[in-house]
Amino acid sequence: MAQSCANLFEQDKQIIAPLYGKADINFVKGEGSYLYDDQGNKYLDFVAGIAVNALGHQNQAIKDAVVEQMNHFNHISNLYPNYPQIELGKALLEITKFDKAFFCNSGTEANEGCIKFARKYFDRKGEKNRQKIITFVNSFHGRTYAALSATGQPAIREGFGSMPGDFVHVTWNDCAALKAEVNKDTCAIMLESLAAEGGVMTLSKEMVETINSLQKEFGCLVIVDEVQAGVGRLGTFCGFEKYGLNPDLVSLAKGIGGGLPLGAVLLRQKIADQLKAGDHGTTFGGNPIACAAGLAVVKQIPGLLKNVAERSAQIKAGLKALVEKYDFAKEIRGEGLILGVALDESMPVGNIIAAARAEKLMVLSAKGNVLRMLPPLNVSAAEVDEALEKLGKAFAAAPKAAAK
């Protein structure tokens, strides 16, 4: 039963741990690329649940798959095989050409799995000294301890005590810094194919070449975090395809579940060969309902890649016009349907987000005062035009920061 927004937020304040800054909107329905609040207002959703709703709201194939599986069973644990998990695994391996899949519940769990599998691989091979994992400044790999230690943002680790060791962070696209860190004791280089939360940062060609060269020279593994950039969001099924990386392990989550909690690790056979029963596990991971939804998502992605490319070009053209018009808008960033605009300090990104919300457009931020846009992969040309019109009004209306 719908409640008033004021009542809902008062209850939220009393009951829910205060870990999020929440907008004062009471959404009651989603449909396609839109969300509706309790007042009947219609918002164009270019947040998509932070890249989770890859196919928008109420995708019929996802709904049908979930209901169909619920008519069989909701959960049986990983003590037994289940058909939806196997079918989703087959689909992912066929598309990506990996050899094995492991299912979990989230991106941070997928990244934890990658870290554990990489270290176990070298341990079982007798190379116990290979523990060091190199990641990047401003990266984001999750909130659990190892994933948080891999994350290159000290501020979000502060106050949680000692972190798991043997993680080193180098500057994004700094080839010399990476070369200086990789040696025969390196376990893995771990990176996002596009650092979305960290500032919508793309990989340089030189960095890709450097990673591939170091992987070959030292035999270290490459872990590619595709939690936000994967599942079609960059115009290829995984971002590593777009840039020419050769990962040994890949983490997936967010969009793969179409709104349900689902994560996955894709492994090369050489790594799977070093794993044994009991090395890792999960109670809910690979839940049949989530996997049924995941398969419904994966089946639709190939047919949307052309739309991703076309809508990306359309959004970039609109953002270019804004950058040319407003002096506080400095740079367009991103690829596919992870796109953003870097703003100077005179315009806090929160002011643009609030102004866009007033225009009934949902957008979000990224590190470094960057506006970030994550529309559904099936967003239409008309919806992009609508979003750009609303964003233009937001840029015009947003107040600049007061001069110091």
User: ∠ CA 331-356-232 to the nearest 5 degrees?
Assistant: 60
Tokens of 211: 């990673």
Q: Give the pLDDT of residue 165.
A: 87
Count the neighbouring beta carbons within 10 Å of the beta carbon of residue 60.
Answer: 9
Name the nearest CA neighbour of 99 among 268, 274, 276: 268
Query: Beta strand 263-267 with 221-225: parallel, antiparallel or unpaired?
Result: unpaired
Q: Give the pLDDT of residue 305.
A: 98
Q: Are 122 and 286 in contact (CB under 8 A)?
A: no
Q: Give the pLDDT of residue 329.
A: 97
pTM: 0.95
- Burial tier of 383 (Cβ tally within 10 Å: 0-12, 13-18, 19+): buried
Instruction: Return averaged pLDDT per consecutive 10 residues of the chain, 404 residues in all.
Output: 69 91 92 96 98 98 98 96 97 98 98 98 97 96 91 91 91 98 97 97 98 98 98 98 97 97 98 97 97 98 98 98 97 98 97 98 97 98 98 96 64
Q: Give the pLDDT of residue 4.
A: 63
Name the nearest CA neighbour of 247 among 192, 286, 290, 199: 192
HSE-CB at 107 with a 13 A cutoff on CA atoms is 23
Q: Give the pLDDT of residue 1.
A: 46
Q: What's CA 333's distance to the chain center, in Å?
A: 16
Q: How far apart are CA 34 and CA 48, in angstroms?
A: 9
Instruction: Render 186-255 in DSSP notation, one character per residue.
Output: EEEEEEESEETTTTSEEPPHHHHHHHHHHHHHH--EEEEE-TTTTTTTTSSSSHHHHHT---SEEEE-GG
